[in-house]
Amino acid sequence: MSVHGLNVARNAKAVLHDVDLTILPGRITALLGANGAGKSSLVLAMAGVLPATSGTIALDGQSIVGLRPEAIRASGVAAVPEGHQVLNDLSVEDNLKVAGSHLSRAQLRSALDVALGTFPELRERLQARSGNLSGGQQQMVALAQAVIARPRYLLADELSFGLAPVVVARLVPVLQNLASQGIGVLLIEQFTHLALKIAHSAYVMERGRICFAGEPQELISNPEILHSAYLA
């Protein structure tokens, strides 16, 4: 999935400027940058929630600019937005079923099995009201929903926000496992060292622009690049 020369405005204010970014299948791509740099706006634009002013967003060489979010999701792009956006009043099971509502019964059953195999702790909480789960469990439901949709690309925005480090450590192998199955993962992460450790490539954003694109190791070896982006 690739983005070229993308410009996006929110409330008539330009928030993304000429953004170029590529997510490869089977790879984890880290997207780093300070609060307000534009990371969430980029994810929302890629998911079709925010319109592009200009530029292209392509999936297998086909433009998806202007498609509705449901159409983009159906073509294999799952966004897990910032904050755990599960339906609080529904049970865990119903939240998972909603995510697979486009599947046949047999497909849904096997997708649920895969998701519950990935998050066995949800199996015991299937009938629990989602709003009563811990933040970490809610994040697992959100990720499980994304897995059920069988995406080819997963856009994960601040999965670890508000979570205890032990829960974050639990989510990391899940992302690596998804990538090893061929899913292209875009990982927005406040714990930059963690993101750089598991990513195959990295981008840094500063005030709506990409200011670094390259190897994670380059950012680890040159911490001043991230420091200046976070101070911008």
Ligand X SMILES: Nc1ncnc2c1ncn2[C@@H]1O[C@H](COP(=O)(O)OP(=O)(O)OP(=O)(O)O)[C@@H](O)[C@H]1O
Which residues make up the interface to ligand X (CB under 6 A)? 10-11, 15, 33, 35-41, 82
Report helix, strand and coil shares of the chain as percent, to nearest 5. 40, 25, 35
From the CB of 74, what's the least distance to ligand X, in Å?
25
Residue 211: name the closest of 89, 32, 84 by CA: 32
Task: Give the H or E element holding residue 56.
Answer: strand 54-59
Rg (CA), the chain: 17
User: Interior CA angle at 186 toward 181 and 189, to 5°?
Assistant: 120
Q: What tokens were used for 177?
A: 């496992």
The answer to whether 163 touches 139, Cβ cutoff 8 Å, is yes
Q: How distant is the alpha carbon of residue 216 from its chain centre?
A: 18
Nearest distance, CB of residue 226 and ligand X, angstroms: 14
Q: Which is nearer to ligand X, 8 or 149 (CB)?
A: 8
User: What secondary structure letter does DSSP report for 19?
Assistant: E
Rounded to a whole number of angstroms, the minimum distance from the CB of residue 96 to ligand X is: 26
> Cβ closer to ligand X: 38 or 184?
38
Nearer to ligand X, 170 or 207 (CB): 207
Nearer to ligand X, 10 or 129 (CB): 10
Between residues 37 and 86, which has the closer beta carbon with respect to ligand X? 37
Residue linked to tokens 């040159």? 222
**Residues forming a β-bridge with 143:** none
Cβ closer to ligand X: 122 or 219?
A: 219
CB of 117 to ligand X, least distance (A): 31
For residue 8, the minimal CB distance to ligand X (Å) is: 9
CB of residue 110 vs ligand X: minimum separation in angstroms?
A: 34
The torsion of the CA quartet 6, 142, 200, 231, rounded to 10 degrees, works out to 60
